[in-house]
Amino acid sequence: MANKEQPDKWTILTILTWTESYFKSRTIDSPRLTAEMLLAHNLAIKRLDLYLQYDRPLEKQELESFKSLIKRRVQSEPVAYITGQKGFFESDFEVTPDVLIPRPDTECIVEEAIKALDDNVFSGEPKNVIELGTGSGAIAVSLAKARPGHRYAASDISLGALLVAQKNANKISETKIDFCVGNWFSCFAKQAQFSLIVSNPPYIPSGDIGTLQPEIQLFEPMLALDGGQDGLDCYRIILNDAHNYLVPGGTLLLEIGYDQRFGIREIVQGLSNSFNYQAPEFVKDLAGHNRVAIVKKSID
């Protein structure tokens, strides 16, 4: 890449231009933006500052380390794992390979959770809110930041993920979140009652994992993606238990895959007496896909 005889010829602007066209030739998504994010990370400056210093020559050392970041991206590693950061719902979250990278689609469940918390039915007192399978903490932390004054807890089966979530909570939310290691509800007290339960569980059918792009398949935690044979395994477990933990009139919000609406309906209908759940409602994301299932527990 760099011309060893003339290392000084590389300035921020010329290396950005070179990297953009290299990424383009390797069919990397958003080549300019990717080049900017990696270079800003490499130089430990903000993206916009690249353009305030566009004429600054790169040191040999900086060029070497940038080269290794370019290589990682070309080998399919997602930008978020390379920089260790991902923007989600107005905050910057730390991410590591222990956690799924927060997706823009997932902002939809945060918005629905905020609506549920603001719902008049429960107006007034602080509510008990939990997230199941919190990963990086993106949902719970965004919610605690947007609606402080409620009581928040979140579980994950992966200790590595919870360490990341705790760091994000400390940095982003002033409202405390109690994190616990456990499989879905297992770390919550049997008698505990919650007004709101949210989850974005693994929901990719096992047979589809092999068709995912290499960025996901090679780098993201399978534990957070593989939803069993039909992708619905985790919903079965959660719906089987959630009614025990929901206050009457409480809400369960589940992120779902674009084609899982009928699957969710069937699971609820198949439960004895539907376990007091009302018929699920569905919310579409910005792309027009069904993305969130709202399952309420009846008042009586």
Phi-psi map region of 90: left, alpha, beta (phi>0 left; psi -120 to 50 alpha): left
Query: Is residue 203 near ligand GLN by the rule CB under 6 A?
Result: yes
Could you tell me the CA-to-CA distances from 19 to 34, 65, 102, 160 in Å, in that order? 9, 14, 26, 33
Q: Considering only 33-41, 50-58, 199-207, 273-281, which stretch makes contact with ligand GLN by CB under 6 A?
A: 199-207
Q: Is 14 exposed, middle or buried (0-12, 13-18, 19+ CB in 10 A)?
A: middle
Instruction: Supply the minimum distance, in Å, between the C-beta of residue 126 and ligand GLN.
Output: 28
Which CB, 64 or 105, lies closer to ligand GLN? 105
Nearer to ligand GLN by Cβ, of 77 and 105: the residue is: 105
d(CA 132, CA 250): 16
Minimal CA–CA distance to 202: which of 238, 177, 167? 238
Contacts of 67 (CB under 8 A, 6+ apart): 1, 2
296: phi then psi, degrees, rounded to nearest 5: -105, 145
Least Å distance, CB 74 to ligand GLN, is 21
Within 8 A by CB and 6+ apart from 180, the residues are: 153, 154, 155, 162, 187, 188
CB of 77 vs ligand GLN, minimal distance in Å:
16
Q: Which of 32, 56, 67, 103 binds ligand GLN (CB under 6 A)?
A: 103
Contact 144, 175 (CB under 8 A): yes
Report CA-CA distances (Å) from 155 to 44, 193, 285. Answer: 33, 15, 25
- Does 256 interact with ligand GLN (rule: CB under 6 A)? no
> Closest separation between CB of residue 139 and ligand GLN, Å?
11
- Give yes or no for residue 204 binding ligand GLN (CB under 6 A): yes
Q: Which is nearer to ligand GLN, 195 or 200 (CB)?
A: 200
Q: What distance in Å separates the CA atoms of residue 268 and residue 108, rounded to the nearest whole number?
A: 22
At its nearest, how many Å lie between ligand GLN and the CB of residue 257? 7
**Shortest Å, Cβ 153 to ligand GLN:** 20
Which of 179, 135, 178, 140 is CA-nearest to residue 158?
135
**At its nearest, how many Å lie between ligand GLN and the CB of residue 104?**
10
Binding string, residues 205-234; x marks residues near ligand GLN by CB under 6 A: -----------x--------x---------
Site membership for ligand GLN, residue 200 (CB under 6 A): yes
Which residue number, 78 or 280, has a Cβ lying nearer to ligand GLN? 78
For residue 180, state whether it binds ligand GLN (rule: CB under 6 A).
no
- Answer positive or negative: Cα dihedral of 160, 165, 170, 171: positive
The strand pair at 91-94 and 151-156 is best described as unpaired
Q: Does 145 bind ligand GLN (CB under 6 A)?
A: no
Q: Single out the segment in contact with ligand GLN by CB under 6 A; choices: 17-25, 88-96, 118-126, 195-203.
A: 195-203
Q: 30 or 244: whose CB is closer to ligand GLN? A: 30
CA 241 remoteness from chain centre: 23
Q: Which stretch binds ligand GLN (CB under 6 A): 56-64, 155-163, 202-210, 264-272?
A: 202-210
Query: Do 82 and 69 form a contact (C-beta atoms < 8 A)?
Result: yes
Which residue in the set 202, 205, 250, 280 belongs to the binding site for ligand GLN (CB under 6 A)? 202
Summarize as ranges the residues that interact with ligand GLN (CB under 6 A): 103, 105, 200-204, 216, 225
